[in-house]
Amino acid sequence: MFLAANLKYLRKFFGYSQKQVASFLEVDRSTYSYYEIGKTTPSPKNLIRLSGLYNTSIDDLLSKNLQNEIHPTETAGGDFMRPRSEDERELLMLFRGADGQAQAQMLQLCQGVSKG
């Protein structure tokens, strides 16, 4: 019931374009736009990926009006946790789309760069 509105709200909240999210999901932009208008529903695999991208549960994506629940000043870390640049958004997307082993490697790489 809330899925379409939540997808649109979260995408805008995190500063992603439809094209970026569609690329993340490996679908056409038009397919993703149908998710946001409620014409079609993402596959279970893509619901899982979207919940990971937005760090929320599938249950919340489907059954809550997240626009009334997620506000920049009320989220953990507040507005600070929202990606600020295209590079940050891209890195977050890559990280959240990766499996556990790849995420661990990314973290090691970032930690090595920040120490050096």
Q: CA 50 to CA 88: how far, in whole Å?
A: 17
Predicted TM-score of the model (pTM): 0.72
Mean pLDDT of the 51-56 span: 88
Mean pLDDT of the chain: 84
Of 58, 49, 41, nearest to 25 by C-alpha is 49
Q: Regarding predicted confidence, which is higher, 28 or 98?
A: 28
Q: According to DSSP H, which parts of 1-116 are helical?
A: 3-14, 18-25, 29-37, 44-53, 58-63, 86-97, 100-115
pLDDT band at 66 (very low <50, low <70, confident <90, very high): confident
